[in-house]
Amino acid sequence: MNKKYRAMQIVAPGVLEMTERPIPAPGPDEVLIRIEACGVCGADLRDAEKAPQAGQPGRIPGHEIVGFIARKGNRVPDIWQTGQRVGVGRLGGYCQHCKPCRSGLFHLCENQLTPGLSCDGGYAEYVVMRHTALIAIPSALSSVHAAPILCAGTATFNALRNSGARAGDRVAVLGMGGLGHMAVQYARKMGFDVTVVARGSEKERAAIELGAHHYIDTLKESASERLKNDGGVDIIVATAPASETVSALLSALAPRGKAILLGTGQTPLQVTPGMMIGAERTLTGSFVSTPAQTELALQFSHLFQTLPVTELLPFERANEALSRLKQGLARYRIVLTMNQDN
């Protein structure tokens, strides 16, 4: 094994630069992963804007990591073996002893690491992670397809799976980007009547091809009025940080309907209490899930071929990938590749 590895680190807000570092040894509860693919997520844009701390090496972004265990610590359970292909998502390993962990809410751990933010991530040839972050990757899924499922996939899959909706219910997906294009596929395969709500007509064809039954262009008509005229919807999955649109859509929820927030933004929602109370509507958020639940999303994706639409770039071009994402040019998930020549 080479003694050094390459990585793209943050050197200034929004700017990455190639660096070489010594390959780290994993601690007793950690594994060293030789990375093969890493998805590019909207959260990476926010992570990359954080300036390096004085005297500290720049943070390495990336949290949709797929690779092979190269070394393991002596306290890592035997379910994880050297040479095994594994993944790591936004959650970098739970502590096992805080109150949420003791309640089985591992994804809400108070001491959770966050790859690319509080620890180094996957825009690199190697990374060290806690074993509690590890996700088993089905052999039938390619690393490129598996990577985006570790964040965008599991976030939308579990939001729908835990929504309480049943086959035949009406689901509206707000947004047709990295999260939205996965939500559409999952909703269709789960048996829902799927409407995509997006800005502009250019994504209509892709939305229908991926499984949407209906498409609403918010530049041409009021999405809330259209949905209400069609009888309302049982579930709204808001994958885009469009607070004004989400606020307007709440009135289109059927009685006891639920709106689930996935896309983050800075603008507050405008909610009329009476509208929510009178029809017993619900507004809630949904976070990415535990490793075990992410494995269910991966298995579902394999069984029903609900796969991310990807474009590939070598990780040396990470700056280009972030630029494309920032400009809204990604269709729909960019995946960085590394260690592909051996």
How far is the CA of 257 from the CAs of 19, 56, 145, in angstroms?
A: 50, 48, 32
pTM (two decimals): 0.95
pLDDT at 54: 81
Q: Are the C-beta atoms of residues 134 and 88 closer than 8 Å to each other?
A: yes
- CATH number for the region 4-151+289-337 comes to 3.90.180.10
Q: Are the C-beta atoms of residues 93 and 107 closer than 8 Å to each other?
A: no
pLDDT at 7: 98
Q: Are the C-beta atoms of residues 238 and 282 closer than 8 Å to each other?
A: no
**Which residues make beta-bridge pairs with 21?**
5
Q: What is the pLDDT of residues 68-99, one digit of tens each?
A: 999 999 999 999 999 999 999 999 999 999 99
The first and second tokens of residue 156, run together, are 């939308």
Q: Are the C-beta atoms of residues 334 and 324 closer than 8 Å to each other?
A: yes
How far is the CA of 5 from the CAs of 23, 181, 342, in angstroms?
A: 6, 34, 14
Instruction: Tell me if residue 224 falls in helix, strand or coil.
Output: helix
Instruction: Determine the Cα–Cα distance for residues 71 and 265; give it in Å rounded to an integer.
Output: 39
Instruction: Determine the Cα–Cα distance for residues 224 and 199; give it in Å rounded to an integer.
Output: 14
21 DSSP 8-state letter: E
- Domain residue spans of the chain: 4-151+289-337, 156-285
Check the CA dihedral 22-23-28-31 and report its sign.
positive
Cβ partners under 8 Å of residue 55, min gap 6: none
pLDDT at 342: 52
pLDDT at 37: 98
pLDDT at 266: 79
Query: Amino acid identity, residue 61?
Result: P
Cis peptide before 123, with omega less than 30 degrees from 0?
A: no
pLDDT at 55: 80
Instruction: Tell me if residue 226 falls in helix, strand or coil.
Output: helix
Instruction: Determine the Cα–Cα distance for residues 315 and 335; give it in Å rounded to an integer.
Output: 8
Answer yes or no: CATH 3.30.1130.10 is held by domain 156-285: no
The first and second tokens of residue 332, run together, are 């729909």
| Torsion angle (degrees, nearest 10) of CA 96, 153, 228, 231 | -90
Q: Which residues of the chain have pLDDT under 50?
A: none
pLDDT at 105: 95
pLDDT at 341: 67
